[in-house]
Amino acid sequence: MVKETVRVYARVKPLGRRQQAGIYSVDDDEKPLSSLEITVPRDLADGFINNKRESYRFKFQKIFDQEAKQDVVFDSIARPVAECVLAGYNGTIFAYGQTGSGKTFTITGGAERYSDRGIIPRTLSYIFDQLQKDSSKVYTTHVSYLEIYNECGYDLLDPRHEASRLEDLPKVTIMEDSDQNIHLKNLSLQQATNEEEALNLLFLGDTNRMIAETPMNQASTRSHCIFTIHISSKEPGSATIRRSKLHLVDLAGSERVAKTGVGGHLLTEAKYINLSLHYLEQVIIALAEKNRSHIPYRNSMMTSVLRDSLGGNCMTTMIATLSIDKRNIDESISTCRFAQRVALIKNEAVLNEEIDPRLMIVQLQKEIQELKDELALVTGKQRTSELSQEELLQLDELIETFLKDNDPDSPLDVGADMRKIKYCFIHMKELMNHSKISDKKLQSQHISEEKDTNKEAGEEELKKLKELLWQRDNEINILVNMLKKEKKKAQDALFQLKAASAGSIERDCSETVNLEESQSPSSCFILKEAKDFNSSLHRLPFLSRETGGRMSLGCQEAFEVFKQEHADSITIEDNKQLLKQRFAEAKYLGEKLNEVRNKINHLKGEITQRHIQRAALAVSSPSEELNMLDPVEEKLRKQIEEEKKSYKTMFNRLRGLKVEIEHLQLLMEKVKMKLRKDFEVWWSEEAINLQEKPEMVISPNTTTVYPQFIKSSQHLSTNSFSETTRISPDEDPAGKNNSTSSSNPTLKTRTPPSSSTSVPLTGDSQADADILAFIKARQNILQKKGLGNK
Ligand code: ADP
Ligand code: MG
């Protein structure tokens, strides 16, 4: 068992040009902790923050300042946790901070550069590297990816889904068993046998996360994402399995609504925007308090899921992400305060070991056989599960004599054999039932006879029969008592036998029960079905759904222009170049490797040649010299060693390149996907706007562009809308006649005057949108070519 407090780190996001000096300082001298001092500028301190203190000091395990790189962050924070997880302990790393402070960047990574990959891909790489090196155990790895939005859980790894909304993904629900262990129903656990498969799953999840997000539901800032790596290991032949899991958590933005009421309020009174973070804070406070018996985990889904990772059996690490500039000073201080409370929690991590039930069954079967053998030795008879025909006949005879015997003390002795005792009972029951039926028959017979025969004679007969019946009843009662006695005797005998020879079986049985009980806490996630993963990245559910898989011509042309103008096209281009370089490098390395391999083969050939020559010499003219070490051969061997070394270095480099190339390819897919999504949003908004304003007839001179379009397409490079000017309704008298509400300033794009053909709309919204986009795209292209005015 490892007992330790939660480790808390801070990471400050680079602020670039906006950076103001003197707001914070980092002091690394106070080993083993570092401290962060945040100074509130005077103008702010006098204003809305309104408390007396002007500087705050917070202690962290380590503080990563603005220039800290992803590999350093991984090495310090995630590697130790990953090591623990490989050793069989559970681990959790969660990033906490306001939106935009770098949580996703730290946990998943940036989408542009390979070196920007975050904790998840690096941890996967590290874990699979380690697993490959350890051949002493058999490992299995699964991953799951859960998003919690508005108290609902969604499975981001569902391979079948065609969803474009989060709500279309399978809903994950929480179930609690009688031991208060949490199980997640509908969360798939996907097997990943190597780094590549695991990375593909991560990208699938990230893509689903991205597709599900629309400008309306800002899921990424309001939702929590939990990527979990499940590892189980077993030594070959052993029945003990170790299971561990590593949660990598990207929490929702921690920003609060500041109460700026009368006289101002202290920072702590501000309220969370996200209620579940408020519950997380309550859990943290409860955990940090000594002697608290009730921890309010159940208040939210996220605290329920992380229950055993926050205050239980887990190595927990928190990264407080900070974006410390003047505007965010109160949020940064809130984040640090939260971190200080988290640092007070003590956790106890224990190894999660359990016994494989299959191997347990084999062991128990063996034990049963041994006990049977022992029993056979004691009784002198071989026990089978069924009585033989001969034994059955013997028993029937015994019962018959027993029943016939009028002596109430006569015993029915079948020996200490449960099978025989059971048989006797069954047989007696049959006899009893039989006699009841015949009694009834007798009775009815008697009634009919009564009618015909003389009453007196009948009465006498009845008396006789009653006596007989009474006698029979008596007999049966005695018999049952006897049987009871016999049964008890037999049980006692069996018990003694067991106590003497099978004391161990009871111990083992109770262990089995315990083991069965203890299995459930570690396998928290119900394995829906560990299916092989089929990469399904190349899907475009939105486009294929709405247009039946085809883009109309206008749409295609508009997309081409959109693509050229999109900011991400630079990233795509950059990555393409980089990929080209990497491919070239890989090709070069491949060729080099071949050369070196040939060289090594050649050198080996030379050595063999040398051997043959020397052997021939030894036969023709034997000399002392030939028995000594051959300096030429030594030299050749050294050369081979050298070549092998360089082969290994190049091989490793090539392997690294392969991973990088795959990562880059996935990054490109992701950026392309984003581009298509952005285009789809823009396209559908255009269509909606046109539907709302059907009277609008396109005049290429003035095209109305709506504010929400500008908002949702902020990433578009400015030159595609370089002519966009903001015109307030007062400045533009025409704007008043416009159907758009006058309180909502309309943005207009002024395009150069050109052939002013007006295109009447067809009334079919899809067709209209296509026509308009087509014209717009053409205008853009013409403009680019300098033909717009002609
Ligand atoms: P959050 O997930 O906390 O809302 P993000 O991780 O999305 O924030 O970060 C916001 C932006 O800042 C992203 O564009 C990201 O690439 C960038 N960013 C964050 N942290 C860093 C960093 N340490 N270095 C470089 N860029 C960063
Ligand atoms: Mg984020």
Helix, strand or coil, per DSSP, at residue 698: strand
Decide: 326 and 21 in contact? Cβ < 8 Å. no
Instruction: Quick: pLDDT tens for 400-432.
Output: 888 888 888 888 888 878 888 888 888 888 888
- In one letter, which amino acid is 87? A
CA of 109 to the centre of ligand 1 (A): 8
Task: Please tell me the predicted confidence (pLDDT) of residue 5.
Answer: 79
Instruction: Quick: pLDDT tens for 72-98.
Output: 999 999 999 999 999 988 999 999 999
Task: Please tell me the predicted confidence (pLDDT) of residue 137.
Answer: 92
Write the CA distances from 763 to 590, 693, 703, integer angstroms.
60, 11, 18
Which mutation among 13, 209, 213 tests ligand 1's pocket best, with the greatest number of atoms within 8 A of CB? Answer: 13
Distance CA 715, CA 303 (A): 35
Q: Which two tokens stand for residue 491?
A: 């049980």
Task: Please tell me the predicted confidence (pLDDT) of residue 271.
Answer: 65
| C-alpha neighbours within 13 Å on the C-beta side of residue 77 | 34
The beta strands (E) that lie in 170-314 are given as 171-176, 182-185, 190-191, 224-234, 240-250, 256-257, 271-272
Task: Please tell me the predicted confidence (pLDDT) of residue 684.
Answer: 80
CA of 13 to the centre of ligand 1 (A): 7
Which residue, judged by its Cα, is nearest atom 9 of ligand 1?
102
Mean pLDDT of 530-555: 45
Task: Please tell me the predicted confidence (pLDDT) of residue 528.
Answer: 35
**Ligand positioned closest to the Cα atom of 73:** 1
**Ligand positioned closest to the Cα atom of 15:** 1
**Angle of helix 119-133 relative to helix 195-212, nearest 10 degrees?**
160
Of 309-318, 481-490, 625-634, give the lowest mean pLDDT range.
481-490
CA of 23 to the centre of ligand 2 (A): 24
Task: Please tell me the predicted confidence (pLDDT) of residue 385.
Answer: 72
| C-alpha neighbours within 13 Å on the C-beta side of residue 618 | 12
- CB-based pocket (< 6 A), ligand 1: 13-14, 97, 99-105, 110, 221, 253, 321
Task: Please tell me the predicted confidence (pLDDT) of residue 323.
Answer: 92
* pLDDT of 604 higher than 50: yes
Eight-state DSSP code of residue 74: I
Number of neighbouring beta carbons within 10 Å of residue 758: 10
Q: What angle do CA 265, 268, 274 make, to 5 degrees?
A: 110
* pLDDT of 706 higher than 50: no
Q: Which atom of ligand 1 is nearest to the CA of 101?
A: 3
Task: Please tell me the predicted confidence (pLDDT) of residue 164.
Answer: 63
Highest-confidence range of 173-177, 524-528, 592-596, by mean pLDDT?
592-596
Q: How confident is the model at residue 267 (pLDDT cuts 50, 70, 90)?
A: very low
* pLDDT of 765 higher than 80: no
Highest-confidence range of 185-194, 409-418, 450-459, 781-790, by mean pLDDT?
185-194
Query: Which residues have their alpha-adjacent CB atom under 5 A from ion ligand 2?
Result: 104
Instruction: Quick: pLDDT tens for 688-697.
Output: 776 666 544 4
SS3 content of the chain, % helix, strand, coil (to 5): 55, 15, 30
**Ligand positioned closest to the Cα atom of 110:** 1
Q: How confident is the model at residue 170 (pLDDT cuts 50, 70, 90)?
A: confident
Q: What are phi and psi of 705, to 5 degrees?
A: -120, 125
Element (H, E) at 505: helix 503-522
Q: Which position has the token pair 């033989």?
A: 388
Task: Please tell me the predicted confidence (pLDDT) of residue 227.
Answer: 97
Decide: 277 and 251 in contact? Cβ < 8 Å. yes
Strand partners, 671: none
Task: Please tell me the predicted confidence (pLDDT) of residue 196.
Answer: 94
CA of 252 to the centre of ligand 2 (A): 7
**Ligand positioned closest to the Cα atom of 98:** 1
Q: Which two tokens stand for residue 108?
A: 């998943």
Burial class (CB in 10 A: 0-12, 13-18, 19+), 95: buried
Which residue, judged by its Cα, is nearest atom 5 of ligand 1?
102
pTM, 2 dp: 0.59
CA of 513 to the centre of ligand 1 (A): 50
- Chain-wide mean pLDDT for the chain? 76
Higher per-residue pLDDT: 10 or 289: 10
Which mutation among 105, 115, 147, 273 tests ligand 1's pocket best, with the greatest number of atoms within 8 A of CB? Answer: 105
Number of neighbouring beta carbons within 10 Å of residue 262: 6
- Which of 628, 600, 604, 635 has its CA nearest to residue 614? 628
Which residue, judged by its Cα, is nearest atom 10 of ligand 1?
100
Of 20-24, 33-37, 109-113, give the lowest mean pLDDT range.
20-24
Q: Which position has the token pair 């309104």?
A: 50
Instruction: Quick: pLDDT tens for 348-367.
Output: 777 777 777 777 788 788 88
Mean pLDDT of 338-347: 88
Which residue, judged by its Cα, is nearest atom 17 of ligand 1?
102
Q: What are phi and psi of 557, to 5 degrees?
A: -65, -45
Q: Which two tokens stand for residue 111?
A: 């989408």
* pLDDT of 605 higher than 80: yes
Q: Which two tokens stand for residue 711?
A: 């908002």
**Ligand positioned closest to the Cα atom of 210:** 2
Higher per-residue pLDDT: 776 or 631: 631
Instruction: Quick: pLDDT tens for 94-152.
Output: 999 999 999 999 999 998 899 999 999 999 999 999 999 999 999 999 999 999 988 89
Burial class (CB in 10 A: 0-12, 13-18, 19+), 144: buried
Q: Which residues contact 623 (CB under 8 A, 6 or more apart)?
A: none
Q: Which atom of ligand 1 is nearest to the CA of 66?
A: 23
Decide: 36 and 66 in contact? Cβ < 8 Å. no
Number of neighbouring beta carbons within 10 Å of residue 762: 11
CA of 364 to the centre of ligand 1 (A): 56
Number of neighbouring beta carbons within 10 Å of residue 718: 10
CA of 105 to the centre of ligand 1 (A): 5
Task: Please tell me the predicted confidence (pLDDT) of residue 347.
Answer: 75
Helix, strand or coil, per DSSP, at residue 15: coil
Q: Which atom of ligand 1 is nearest to the CA of 105?
A: 6
Higher per-residue pLDDT: 203 or 729: 203
- In one letter, which amino acid is 41? P
Task: Please tell me the predicted confidence (pLDDT) of residue 587.
Answer: 93
Mean pLDDT of 159-167: 66
Task: Please tell me the predicted confidence (pLDDT) of residue 76.
Answer: 96
Decide: 146 and 184 in contact? Cβ < 8 Å. yes
Q: Which atom of ligand 1 is nearest to the CA of 70?
A: 23
Distance CA 56, CA 45 (A): 12
Decide: 682 and 712 in contact? Cβ < 8 Å. yes
Q: Which two tokens stand for residue 584?
A: 């070239």
Decide: 307 and 240 in contact? Cβ < 8 Å. no
Task: Please tell me the predicted confidence (pLDDT) of residue 86.
Answer: 93
- Which of 147, 321, 298 has its CA nearest to residue 217? 147
CA of 220 to the centre of ligand 2 (A): 6
